Structure 1
Amino acid sequence: MNSFLHSKLLHNLTSKIPIRNNNSILLAISCGQDSLCLLKLFIDLQHIFKIDLGVVHIDHQWRQDTTQNTEHMLHIVKKTQCPLYLYQLKPKQYSETEFRDMRYQIYINTATNYKYDVIATAHTLSDRTETCLMNLLKGSCVDQLNSLRWQRDLSPGIKLIRPLLNFTRTEINWFCKYYKLPIWFDYTNIYYSNNRNRIRHEIIPYLKQYYQIDIEKNINIFLDRSHCETEYLRQITIKIYFLIKHPNYVAFKYKSLLKQHKCIQIRVLHLFIIHNTGVQCNYDILDQILLKLNHTKELDIINNKIIIQIDKDWAYFMLNKTGLPQKTTRRKSLA
């Protein structure tokens, strides 16, 4: 335990994401360099924190070499004497979102069943940079740019941490070579059919060469600073949401909402709709709803999904279950 990355992780675990002695930590890893770096570091620092470690690995059956990859994982974990929880998914072409949701549900179930209170993933500063650029190119809001954070609660009693979030891929590559870690090469990482790979291998190197060599460091600074601001906006959003929502109906005091800044209006409206109807609305739809609230006094249908009824000071929401525009008359007062 004498590398600068050992010291860096030690600092992260005492200041960025403090863990307690006797924590039980489930390491979600593959055979890639980031994962093996995470495993090696935690094994080396295990005695300092007196933590119990376990390893969870998911064979998603996407590649032709998954069987050999899984065998390689078994040999690696066997030497660490950590419990290994191995899962295999049916060979199917899941979307990135579907696979992420499925993966985290497996992590939660494993941690719950085997009494782990912390799940650690091997996301790095490079991953954070790539995710930020991908979401920026999609036109995402500032909240989504900062989707990779140091820690968050996954479920009651189970916390997700990303202890390598200030590690660059270059640093990790050096670490794996220095300690001769048996990395398994994932050939799908070079296919440009995956947009992340094109950002990783073309866009970021181009930006480093011609614009900013410290792009990862600078984006990290931006995300850390914006995180404080977005957290403040989230707290204000939740506070106003509870102040204006109807105690019994799916409704809120729309005039009170319209007195707020446009930024807060959008956030509160998005929270209200997703929490009460489960419908995901993009910024354009939310803006359209606010326009309706400012000018209409009659029933209206937004995007063939949401029905809005304005009655006195309240805006009542319901789902259009048919998915088709409907002609309806205005109801009597519900308040």
Structure 2
Amino acid sequence: MSVTPATPVTPPRAISGLREFWYYFSQNTGAVIGFVIFVLLVLIAITSPWIAPHDPAKIYNGFFLVPPAWQEGGDVRFIFGTDAIGRDILSRLMHGARYSLLIGAVVVAISLTGGIILGLLAGYFRGWVDTLIMRVMDIILAFPSLLLALVMVMVQVLARALVLVMVMVQVLALALALVMVQVLALVQVLALVQVLALALALVMVLALVLELVGMLVGESAQVLARAQVLAQVLALVLALVLALVLALVSVLALALVSVLVLVLAQVLALVSVLALALVSVLVLALVSVLALVLAQVLAQVLAQVLVLAQVLAQVLAQVLVLVLVLVSVLAILKKP
């Protein structure tokens, strides 16, 4: 019986890092499919200005809400159909992929840069710097992603509402200042009109005095003089009435504007109270969310502690069983 000698096993050739990566990467079919889809999306996003069938912003009248081409009522010119105002959906998807990939790349780049900087600081300084950075990262990672996203959205919405309230307060304050300026201008105008009316009354009184002096000096044309005196008296009465009316109007206008200022002040105070209430609600919401997150973290910690306690109890039970077995064996061995 002859024995065939074993063939020597030749060691594999040394391959480059990229080839080695592709060799192991190609073993995973799902990873290869995902990589191909990603490359296709990148190529479509880059070449979308040339391969898109239509202008993404162009509106086609008469083609509103057209269904996809493979459905009933579809049009082969619009493969994915059109939106509510007649724009091609496929072209908009191709162009929109550019912005989506750009936003994702920017976010990843910013996160990567921050992570690298923090990692370098923690690894270089070590000590309390490393501990502080790592504990902060542990706290961030302990938050559930969905809950953290909801908190961020809620904070953003409340912050926008608070900004709108503050802008409203500033607008009301500006309107109040403008009203005060207008009130001061109106008061000055009314005061000027009163001065003019009083000056006119004084002029009329002076004219009346002069007419009386003329009547005393000369008795001629008595009828004409009396008529002039009567006219002057009437003018004086009218001037006095005008001054009284203007004074009354100025008082009423000042009272009305004062009431308006008081109303605006009350509205401003009410808006300030609403702003404070909104801030209080924001603080309470943040405290509630933090309490909820803390409770969840504590629940997870307690669950881990309970699991650890259960494991320790099982270990102690096993140790007790082992001790009992050893005691039994020793008791059996000591028997004659």
Q: TM-score, normalised by structure 2?
A: 0.23
Higher relative contact order (CA 8 A, sep 6+): 1
The structure with the larger Rg is 2
Structure number with the higher helix fraction is 2
